[in-house]
Each structure stands twice: as structure tokens, then as C-alpha cells.
Amino acid sequence: MIFIFISPTLGFILGSLMMVIVSNIFRSTRPSRVDKWFRRLQLVSAGAYSLGHGGNDAQKTIGIIWMLLIATGYVAAGDKSPPGWVIIACYIAIAMGTMFGGWRIVKTMGQKITKLKPVGGFCAETGGALTLFIATSLGIPVSTTHTITGAIVGVGSTHRMSAVRWGVAGNIVWAWILTIPASAFVAAIAYWVSLQLF
């Protein structure tokens, strides 16, 4: 539970740290040249973030499905890994969801919280990817959305505090907080319905 708070904080720290380092390295370079380079480098950082996203979020889904398969007797509790079809299905599902619905999140994150230029996008994605790699290597499930939000706010705040739309960021945080009891409520209703049916 503590990583619900640690992941966006770590994303904030790493995103802002990346932005400070990159700004110092390229401070004497023309902005148009920096923009050109980081448009290309953003493909690398977006790929790294996507890898971190799949490595963490898809594994959470795999774990839940595997647990359900064990509970219902479809697989043995002593199996060392889930069935291959579960792994493939989860990775395909998360890739398709990102491909078809991810643009809305990207639009909110990259335009509504703060205006990101390619260099800022690179730093936020790299900071977010590093956070996800650390969490995944430790076996800790985190929210990739929490992580990238923290990284984007970190990048935006390196320019000036007013560069971040704190009202939008606050609304996102409230949505995170309300998601937990709302999910518990829906789960309770689903459980009650299942008891009535079975």
C-alpha cells in the first residue's frame, strides 16, 4: 500500500532530476536542435516506459487470473508459473488497451497537467520507466499512471511551480483516492450477486 504514495513521489524525483541534468548538459545548445534530438530520443524513452508498463501492470493481471485458476482448480497450486496462454493474453490485452485508449491518458498527462516539449517528455518517460523498473525488480505492484503523473509534475515544476496546473493534478489525485472505495463497493456487490446466483 505504501507504494501507492512512493511511486508518484519517486517518479516526481526522478523526472525532475532527469530534467535538471538534461537542462544542464544542453544549456548552450540551440533549442531547435535540442527539440530535434529529443523528438528521436523520445521514441527510446517511450519504448522503455512501455516495457516498464507491461512488466508491472500486465503482471498484476496475470497474478489475479492465476490466483483465480488455482482457486477454481484449473491449475495446481504448486505450479511454478501461470499457463502460457494467460501470460500472452494479458500482454496482448494491455498492449491493445494502450494502443486504442492510451491517447486519452497521453493527452491529459502531456497537455493538461503541464505543457511538455520533447525534452520534457523524454525526462518524464525516463523517470517513470526507471521507477517502474525498480518496482518490478523488487516485485512490487505499482500504478503506472501514478508513476508517470508524478514524473510529469516533477518535470513541469523544474520550470516554475505555476507551469503545473495543480487543479488538474489535484483532480487526478482525488480520482485515485476514490477509486479504492469505489472498487471495494463494486466487488462487494459482485460478491453478493454471486452468492445469490450460486
Q: What is the pLDDT of residues 88-146, one digit of tens each?
A: 999 888 888 877 766 666 666 667 778 888 898 899 999 999 999 999 888 888 888 88
Q: What percent of the chain has pLDDT over 90?
A: 33
Q: What is the largest CA-CA distance in the chain?
A: 69
Q: For residue 13, give every residue at least 6 positions away whose Cβ sits within 8 Å of its Cβ, in sequence order, or none.
A: 127, 154
Predicted pLDDT at 41: 92
Once rounded to an integer, what is the mean pLDDT over residues 23-52?
89
Residues 148, 15 contacting (CB under 8 angstroms): no
Q: At what angle do helices 118-137 and 3-25 cross, to 10 degrees?
A: 140
pLDDT at 69 over 90: yes
- Residue 149 CA to residue 45 CA, distance in Å, equals 15
> What are the CA-CA distances from residue 2 to residues 72, 167, 176 (Å)?
31, 24, 14
Phi-psi region of 5 (alpha: psi -120 to 50; beta: other; left: phi over 0): alpha
First to last CA, the chain: 32
- Residue 56 CA to residue 29 CA, distance in Å, equals 36
Predicted pLDDT at 132: 92
Predicted pLDDT at 102: 64
* Cell numbers at 87, concatenated: 501470460
